Amino acid sequence: MSRFALSVSRGITRVTETALGPYQSAVIRIGFAATWLLFLLREYPHRQEMYGPDGPWSWDLAQQLIAINHSFTALMWSDSQVWFEIVYALAVLSSALLLVGWRTRAMSVLFMVGVLSLQNRSVFMGDGGDNVIHLMAIYLVFTRCGQVWSLDARRARLAREARARGERTGPDRVGPALWGVLGLALAAVTLAGWLSAGWLVIFWGLWAVQALWWVVGHRARTAEPRILLDVVTNLVHNAALLVIMAEACLIYATAGWYKIQGSRWQDGTAVYYPLHLDYFSPWPALSDLMSAHGTIVMLVTYGTVVAQVAFPFTLFNRRVKNVLLAAMMTEHAVIAVVLGLPFFSLAMIAADAVFLPTSFLRRLGGWAARARGVLIRRSGRTVPGPREQQARIPEQAEDTHVGFTA
């Protein structure tokens, strides 16, 4: 067999046998769930003006727009105040549960429903960060983002340890019950005619996949059907992860090339002007300090363009990519503070996290485990050390986020 054919064979085996990037997909899940949750909590006092039925962008205007663009939003099913509060609470709850990784498959779907329902209800609210969350909420549905750093992974690990000790583990009842309730709700929505044909196919398709996993897990006499479904699921996950990476590169590439065409970016003064807008100056003294030095403004302006244009090409060199990635994350952190755009910056940092090296994320998990051990040691509980937890990760990646386990 030629070297090329052997490489292709190894590549096919890798993408079919393994859900790649377990740490990267987990940090994306945590990052976007946390960003959306913090946004919803911060805007809770203003939720009526932003998305409520009596807001400036009225329910009738939203209904007319959705009739044209056919976007999905559950808030258009009723103009009741009670219904609005239910949808908003569902968005908050699903974000919190996705953040901790509880039933991540179901919560990723509900997270997408909450994001689309609110953002499509009032399309003129938010900024570029909302667009990123909008897209990533859809992509997350197709990933196995609960392999590590989730309650699902912990539950799967405890079940394996119990079986290893010879203990009997009962069947999972929460997962089927949860998807059963979602199925009944989807049937009611379908009968009411509130979903278009395209969204009916999407939601019923997602529900049917979970039902198929349950049937295979409980009725299949051989392992082949389970293996086949696992291969397909790995392929979907890896394809979704590739799309997320391509989306992040596309965002930076298009932003950089559009900046090159602007005269203010060409003469190195573009960063100066937003620093003197009241809307983007939560700390006027800090903005004045930065804009007072022309050399700093010029370097930041040109550096931003160079970093955004060059970033997709640095993926071929790991070291250069890591350096540029750290610089871009730092830049977003500065934007969050100086320009007062915390949620835009958090969304972009979460998107950038897909490129973080696995070794760094494993160390980050070890630091978090040690910090957790220090915090709960006073309670007298036994906490596994970081090395023990790291040793369990490969096992977690095999079982979690499959069928009704998530």
**Long-range contacts (CB closer than 8 Å, 24 or more residues apart) made by 289-296:** 290/338
CA dist 57 and 59 (Å) reads 7
> Over 80: is that where the pLDDT of 62 sits?
yes
DSSP state of 261: T
- pLDDT digits 0-9 by tens, 91-133: 999 999 999 999 999 999 999 999 999 999 998 887 777 899 9
CA dist 393 and 400 (Å) reads 11
> Over 90: is that where the pLDDT of 326 sits?
yes
Greater model confidence, 90 or 366:
90
> Over 70: is that where the pLDDT of 53 sits?
yes
CA dist 119 and 304 (Å) reads 29
pLDDT (mean) for 294-303: 91
**Those residues with Cβ within 8 angstroms of residue 284's Cβ, 6 or more apart along the chain or in another chain:** none
Q: Which residue has the tokens 């939720």?
A: 47
> Over 50: is that where the pLDDT of 390 sits?
no
pLDDT (mean) for 203-222: 91
CA dist 127 and 135 (Å) reads 13
User: Would the CA dihedral through 281, 286, 292, 294 be positive or negative?
Assistant: negative
pLDDT of residue 203: 96
pLDDT of residue 188: 96
Q: What are phi and psi of 54, to 5 degrees?
A: -110, 20
Spell out the alpha helix ranges (H) of 70-223: 81-100, 104-121, 128-140, 151-164, 174-192, 197-219
- pLDDT digits 0-9 by tens, 155-173: 999 998 988 888 887 888 8
Instruction: Give the confidence band of 309 by pLDDT, cuts at 50, 70, 90.
Output: very high
pLDDT of residue 374: 82
pLDDT of residue 395: 42
Token duo for residue 242: 């590739």
- pLDDT digits 0-9 by tens, 250-276: 999 999 999 999 899 999 999 999 988
**Those residues with Cβ within 8 angstroms of residue 14's Cβ, 6 or more apart along the chain or in another chain:** 20
- pLDDT digits 0-9 by tens, 136-150: 999 999 999 999 999
Q: What amino acid is encoded at 116 in this protein?
A: L
Q: Is 334 exposed, middle or buried (0-12, 13-18, 19+ CB in 10 A)?
A: middle
Mean pLDDT of the chain: 88
Greater model confidence, 343 or 1:
343
Token duo for residue 359: 């070794």
CA dist 229 and 16 (Å) reads 10
pLDDT (mean) for 223-243: 93
